[in-house]
Chains A and B, each alone.
Chain A
Amino acid sequence: MTWVAWRLQRTETLITLGILALLAALLVPTGINMANAYHHLGLSSCTGIEQGSACGQKIGDFQMRFESLTHLTDWFTLVPGVIGVLLAAPFIFDLEHGTYRLAWTQSITRRRWLASKLSLPIAAAVVAAGVMILLITWWRTPDIRLDGRLGNGTYDAVGTVAIGYTLFALGLALALGAVWRRAAASITVAFVGYFAVRIFVDTYLRDHLVAPLKATFKGNPPARLNHAEILSQTVLGHPHVHLQGPVGAGSQIAAPKGATPTVFQAVYQPASHFWPLQLTETGLFVGLAVLLIAFAAWWTHERTV
Chain B
Amino acid sequence: MSEQAAVRTDGLGKRYGSTWALRDCTLEIPAGSVTALVGPNGAGKTTLLHLLIGLGKPSAGRVEVLGLSPRRDAAVLLPRLSFVAQDHPLYRGLSIADTLKLARKLNPSWDEERAQARIERLGLDPHRKVSKLSGGQQAQVALTLALSKEPELLLLDEPVASLDPLARREFLGAVLEAVADTQMTVVISSHIVSELERVCDHLITLVDSRAQLAGSIAEIVASHRLLTGPRSDAASVARVHQVIRESHTERQTTLLVRANGHVYDSCWEQHEVDLEEIVLAYLGYRPGANRWEAGAEEVVPV
Contacts and interface: CB of A to CB of B under 8 A. Distances in A.
Interface of A: 1, 3-4, 7-8, 11, 97-99, 101-110, 305
B102 A109 contact: no
Given A7-B98, A305-B50, A305-B55, A107 B107 contact: yes
Interface in B41-55: 50, 53-55
A79 B38 CA distance: 53
| Max chain B Cβ within 10 angstroms of own Cβ: one of A7, A98, A105, A108 | A105
Given A1-B105, A98-B87, A105 B82 contact: yes
A214 B74 CA distance: 62
A89 B78 CA distance: 27
B273 interface: no
B291 interface: no
A102 B155 CA distance: 12
Contacts of B230: none
Contact of A109 (B78, B89, B301): B78
B92 interface: yes
Most central of B106, B108, B145 by chain A CB within 10 Å: B106
What are the nearest 8 A-B pairs in CB distance? A106-B106, A107-B79, A101-B85, A305-B56, A105-B83, A98-B89, A107-B107, A99-B89
Contacts of A108: 78, 106
Given A7-B102, A108-B106, A109-B74, A102 B55 contact: no
Given A97-B92, A108-B78, A109-B75, A1 B85 contact: no
Nearest to A302: B57
Given A7-B94, A98-B85, A106 B103 contact: yes
A103 B74 CA distance: 13
A111 to B, nearest CB: 9
29 contacts: A1-B106, A3-B101, A4-B102, A4-B105, A4-B106, A7-B94, A97-B89, A97-B92, A98-B89, A99-B89, A99-B91, A101-B89, A102-B89, A102-B91, A102-B145, A104-B55, A105-B54, A105-B78, A105-B82, A105-B83, A106-B103, A106-B106, A106-B107, A107-B108, A107-B149, A108-B78, A109-B75, A110-B74, A305-B301
Contacts of B89: 97-99, 101-102
A11 B90 CA distance: 17
Contacts of B107: 106-107
A102 B91 CA distance: 9
Contacts of B50: 305
Contacts of A3: 101, 105
